[in-house]
Structure 1
Amino acid sequence: MTVTWTAAEQTAYKVKLIIFGETLHDSGWRSDTATSYLVPWVLANGFNYTLHVQTRNLKGLASDVVARNFGVSFIEPPRAFLAIAPQPAAGVIRATITNPTPAGTEPVLVSQELWRRPVTSPIINANPGFEGGSTAGWGPAVGGTGAPSTEQAQSGSWSYKVIPDGVSGIAYAETIKLPCTEGLTYDAYGWIRAVTANKPTAVFLRWYDAGGALLGATITTVLPPTAGVWRARSQLGVAPAGATQMTLCAGVGSTPAAGDIIYVDELRIRVADPSNGIRIAAGLPAGAVVDDWRRVVSGVEYEYRAVVRGANGASSFALWTP
């Protein structure tokens, strides 16, 4: 993304890219009269961002910050998913990328990259995959009925099946209340498989005070599903003032009918890490397998994600996978 601006007089400039109060990129002060700047960041679909621009005049005085809010909305290629397996004998970590077949108007893959970063924050919720039919850490389904199921699974053998009641505006799985800290940004993510393509699906967050009163919800990324296909869903959210508890939810909206069943799996939440990590491979074909040996430090836990480039110029981001 290129930012442009005008200034009556300028000796330096600074550009920031921000999401949910977190700075993703800061150019720092640059002694330059240029009035455009290429922000070296790949923008994710379905998110809202803020840009800050400042300049310095001939006397070196800084201008006020000029802020602009914008959203990103485009048809992205299907998100990849990864399997990560250490290979001790070879001294590498092997990342196997699976690329779903595009559906409808989704663009085909042109190339993809693999990125890596150290794990900086633990998973907060328990039992993300419902293995063994366990519902530990989860409350009852809302807006319908829910139960662990072996009919479908994104990973392992189990998922959680939600059958809408046909009346409620949204039907979803929800964790028990989890601790949170107001002002912190949380990253919620997981997988949803819809039986039909009739209604949008989302991962979202609900916020509660110490007494259990609902303060609100964060649900900004609502996307149409592909029937019978696992799709990654994610949501960033800032805990509002007074919030001490939160729940992680995954559901189907727009008053789903009883037949608009969904399965949810591998649902996780943690404190968000704004780092993009480092790129370890580029120009990869579909279904690539990459052996990572580049400055891997023993004893450090890493996670990986693939960034897929579509034929229409759009990109999609796999979920970070340890």
Structure 2
Amino acid sequence: MPIPGNLLGSTTEMVDPNTSGWAALANCAISLGSGGRNGPGTLRLTATAAGEMQARTAASYPVIGGTTYFAFADASSSTQPERIGIRWLSAGNAELGITWSLTTSAASSSWHRVSVAGPAPADAVQAQVLVSATAQAAGAVHYWDNLYLGLPIRYTGNLLGFNVESAEIDASGWEGETNATVSRVVPAVSWPVDFYLGGGHMAAATASVAGDMVMAAAERPVAEAGTEYLAYAYLAPPTSTADCWVELRWYDAADALIDTVRAYLDQPGTGLYRQIVSGTAPPGTVRAGMAAGIDSASAGQALFAEGVVMALTPEFQAGTVVPYADASFEQGVGSWEIVSGPGTIARSVWSSAAGDGTYYLVVTSATAAASVLRSGIWPLRTDGGGLSWRWQVWAQVASGAWDIARSVRWYDDEGTEVGVTTDTSGAAPTPGWWSLTNDAVAPAGATQAAIEYTLTATAASSTLWLDRVALWQALSLQTAEPLPDIGAIRLTLRELHVGQLISIWRVTPDGARVLVRGPSGLYDRVPIPADELIIEDYEAPLGTPVTYLVETYNAGTGALTERRHTDPVTLDPGDPNTCWLKDPANPQRNMRLVVQAGGGPDWTRPARAAEYVVRGRQNPVTVSDVRGGRVGDLQVWTRDDAEREALRLLLSSGAPLLWQTAPGFGVGQVYATVGDVTEARVSPYGREPWRGWTLPLTETDMPTATGVNGSAGRTWRDILTECATWQEVLDSYATWEDVLLDRRIGG
């Protein structure tokens, strides 16, 4: 499976079908091994003598001096640990140096991740990947697979820098704040083969003496008061009983600590576990920080941290007003409390079976009786009176049996209750997690709300799990809105099931269905990444009513789970003397152009036939094939320098384009490649800005493998994190479009 952004070719990355992407460098012979992770093949190194053996990529790859690059691989050996390096080369192919990873702490025959990152030397122009292990004797074997070289692969939206996130460069991303010495370690961790965010290095804080131990991130990104943030880290505790935690911190303009929020890890063992913490920045917040530690650590105990992220809190349900701490129970029971009855509540132990994150709320009742569970009061972000609202909880009966009645209490600005909405009680479904939802219209004056559950244990010693609590304004499940200024229809799909598969078709009045394009290609059984999808369909026809058909499928069985239809929507073509010329892969380049007289080309449809004259026969023998697509010259105007430069950019990729006209011109829309372009002046006056363009079009099929280029979730915060100065932005990107797409020079 190709790794996104990999400079290495697929044969080098996967070591399939051969080892041609690799060359022995020292003390080893290479061969094709079996049992790989990324395809069947592996790179098999066999030591020719005792000592260090090394292999390198057969090719060198272009790099930019000063830019940080990242390399990783999965390795396996029962006899020796290993390391990985990036070898920097000059324009004359001379070695300038090698950036090595630390050596794995122990040998492991299980596939495990090794990685390294570092800035290329100023005069480096090429790089190679090196893999290395030190053999005790000739014949020792080492296996490698799933190899990558490229720019760092980051967690989307992380406000912390790459070295804090991963410790791949050095240990400077973390500081020993209390009773801690910070270093780096490389344990043999078996990340999933396609989890490219998992690296080899981890930040390690070791307690100098017995007592509380704290390490803090060296960076404090900009934060905004009133905004909810989420942070997490993969922690490796020293024991199953160590009190390990992660913490969010808030700082004012004077860099004074205002407040903190902490979440303790309830680990089931000593492996690697993700712990999440969330909170809303208090008034006066200017920056945020992050820390991790152990309470009452023993001298010499160490805490490892990897995959450290601080970001705006994502919504697992779009529009929910429930704070993440109250919705997912990652750091405790939040604002929830039992207001009546014998029930008790607690956060669960760490569990991979949680509905969201790794914890859930555990409700227990020793007797068969009713208990009332109520949340804190949450602002609705708007005057909710008269609006329809929907609330949800995931529930699982762990033992015994339960009846559940689900309610919302509505409050005004003063916190006075203005109404309550309650459904009828019903038995909690079982087995497994069930999503339970209700709808209601909020009463007049409602600006705040609290959720309440009346939980009746119908058997003694009953236990109920709750997770993924949400309350949001109920909007249409699907809407289609024309956007004539950009030549697109915006399709919004809500309340989708993350992890299922989705297909989306555009349907024209004649019943023809065409798949809609998304980031990875056409929406043809694509995994659903979020509960709300917003899709801008730039290939919708002009002036023709269309509907959208949406189907979702179970990811495991492929069975159809839901079918939706939108109402018809028509995209206004605007001035009939203009047309749209669009790049399906880069809609930011699309533009509207004035068509010269005639409205379009005089089409030619070339024949595909050959005639053979047979001696002694009156008529020739003809060998023919289907007639070719349309060929003709489209003539358009650009009216100023901006339009001229925009058209040049649109044509620069050489990829197939989409030409669209208003109905009535006999064209509709045509996918075409553009041949040699003529850009003609229309006047002998040198300052005349108009140009007449002749675009030779050859009709093609709609490109199906091309996705819409973009960087989901990319914001200015990401750029601020990646680049310390504007000069670094200018040095890293050639155009603003490259900034948007995170397409770096040499990347």
* TM superposition score normalised by structure 1: 0.48
Larger Rg: 2
Which one scores higher on RCO, CA 8 angstroms, separation ≥ 6? 1
